[in-house]
Every structure is written in C-alpha cells, then in structure tokens.
Chains A and B, each alone.
Chain A
C-alpha cells in the first residue's frame, strides 16, 4: 500500500500516512474553505489501510493541531470514529494528541475530542 503525504498550507495541516512504519501524523492548523474536500482522501486512505492491516501491527497516530475550525472538527471526529472502529475490531492503535499542556484551551480541546474514545490515548506536551 502506498503512503500518503500532504504538505501543510496556511489553512491546512501537514499529513503523513506511512503504512510501512504504521504511522499516522497530522500537524498544523485546519481551517480549509471546504473541509470535507480536504479530509475525504484521508478517510479513503484510512479505510483502505485498516482493511489491509493485520492485527499484530501497532499503529501510532500523532495529532498536533493548534487551530481547528468547526467543519474540520467534524471531519476529525469522523476520522477518530474510524480509529475507534478499528480498535473495536481488534486492531492495535495508540493515539497521541500533542498540545501545550500549560494552555488550558488546548488541553480542554484535546479532552473534548478524545473523551468518547476507548482506544489507548494520551495528551502529551508538544515539543516545538
């Protein structure tokens, strides 16, 4: 399976999906004009990846998102749902959400995104 990469822009995050190392990484700000258009290829890639993924591999997912607009939030929640479904189906995943732990809003936002997930998840200090 081929990897998937998008460079960051002013309004969209950097995306790295590396199937060889079982690594998923999204970093930056997300406020594209059309959030679904940006995230749709990510959904497709993730669906396809989990279809092929064998249960013995551990997938590391790193999120580092400083600003997310409302429509991007919805798309991220859809992405998180896909991770949760994969976890419930027996895949091994670890989700790390990096933010500034001293920034109350960033931590609150991370908690809000992660609260309903049962997969292993951690809120960690971002390293600039």
Chain B
C-alpha cells in the first residue's frame, strides 16, 4: 500500500481502481492482461518515484528557506555592525580632529590637558580596534583555545589577584569558599587560562566600575547537581535597569557609570566574555536589581577524569 499523499490522491485512486480491474479480470483469458499488468507496475513505480522526489524537494525547500533566513540575519547583523563601528570610531575621531584643528588654527594651545585628552582618545580607538578584532576572531572560530584541566579548588585562587585593585578603590572583595567542592579533590574544569583570566578580569572590573567606595564584591563558586561549576560575582553597586538587562552581552551595549562617568568603555567586554564562556561549553548571564547591585554568573562543565592534569 502506498503512503497516503493528498497531492497525488487522483493518481493513487486511479492506481487502486486499475488494480481492482486487474483482479476482476485475472480469471479471463484476455491476452492483453500481462501487458496491462506490466503497465500498471511501471505506473506504480513512476508514481512512487514522483511522490518521493516531491517529498525530498519539499524538505530541501524547507531547508533552503531556513538558510535564507539565516543569511538575512547575517546580512542584517553585518549592516548593524558596520553602522555601530562607524559610530564608535567616529565619535573619538571627530573629537581628535577638532582638537588638532584647534591647535593648527592656534585657537587651542597644545597644553598638557589637551594633549592628554587626545592621547586618551587615540588609546580608546586602539583598544576598540583590538577588541573588535578579538571578538571577530572568537565569533569566526579563528582563535585556538589551549585548554588544560585545572582543579576546581585552583579556580578560586585566580580571583585573589584582584584584592589589591579592590582595596585601592576601597571596595571589599570576598572570595568565598566554593560550596560542595572541598571533598571533590579530583574534579576539574577544562579552561584556557589566558581566556579565563580575560573573562574574570572583565567581570571584576565591571563590578568595580559600578560599585561605590565602601561597597563590596563577593565571588562564589558552587558545584551544581548538573555537574557544572557555577561562579557568581555579586556587587552591591548601582545595578542595571530591567529593560537593559537582556542586552548587556550584545556588542556595543554601553551604560555609563554614574559613579565614574568619564570612564571609557568599548562596550565589547561582555560580548567577548560571552563568546569565551560559550567556547568553554558554558553559559554566562546576569541578574540585577536597580540600586541594589548585580550578580554576573557563568558555568563551566566539570570533568571527573582521574587522568586530568592540574
């Protein structure tokens, strides 16, 4: 019995009727019967082929449509990226141009403050270009990660180096004991040390930027039931508006710190952190309450291999 296909309902009905006729005529001595039988067999085969190629064509059409949507998204993303880059590079360059022109016209004196400002703007443009290049490489899988197995207990130690920086800003950094970790002496996470440092530096520096003097930052680690290490960085700073929260990991998302409005930000740090954590097969996110503080978190899968290196 052929698969029911409403597109071919007429042909299927015709075939079934023709088969009935053949059954009724089977006992007769009509010499055309063998030819009729052969014709019917060929018709059935042709119909099956047509139905199959139609189904395959439909599947391919569906796949093409999906690809088309993906391409459209990429085009839109590229258009937005070019527009963002033009804007981000344009603003400091316009400022530099005006200062330089002022100095050429001698309306601005080339004094220390002015030159410092130009120097900072040039530095920002350089940083922006470097980070853009880094993000592009990460997104295009053009970066080689050198993964190594590191004991979970060792991860905690990587946060201690920020203590001095926090003290200088009179912010108390607490790196709490990782929960459910102490007894698991042979549990590891696979990380690229350089890239991992990049993520935690970014998250701690962000927390420092949005936390007032006398505030506190706490780093916590927990082994969850799903065999992942969850690291949380909590601050009691200014917090993030609920409507901005879904976009903070998008490139060029920027929020001026009311505590430090002059601090320059490329708006790429969190986008880079997200790419890095994704490459580690983890998930990054944040929750926040305006005026109370934010918690940035990321997860890393745990390896329980005895042969892993520390």
Contact = CB atoms under 8 A, between A and B. Distances in A.
Interface of A: 67-70, 73-74, 77, 103, 105-106, 108-109, 112-113
Interface in B41-64: 49, 52-53, 55-57, 59-60, 62-64
Contacts of A73: 52-53, 56-57
A113 B49 CA distance: 10
A105 B66 contact: yes
B269 to A, nearest CB: 31
B49 A105 contact: no
B53 A74 contact: yes
A105 B56 contact: no
Contact residues on B (Cβ < 8 Å of other chain), bracket: 10 to 19
Interface of B: 49, 52-53, 55-57, 59-60, 62-64, 66
A109 B56 contact: yes
Contacts of A67: 60, 63-64
A105 B57 contact: no
A44 to B, nearest CB: 20
B122 to A, nearest CB: 42
A73 B57 CA distance: 8
A69 B60 contact: yes
B63 A112 contact: no
Nearest to B55: A112
Contacts of A68: 56, 60
A108 B60 contact: no
B49 A109 contact: no
B63 A77 contact: no
Q: Which of A106, A112, A113 has the most CB of B within 10 A?
A: A112
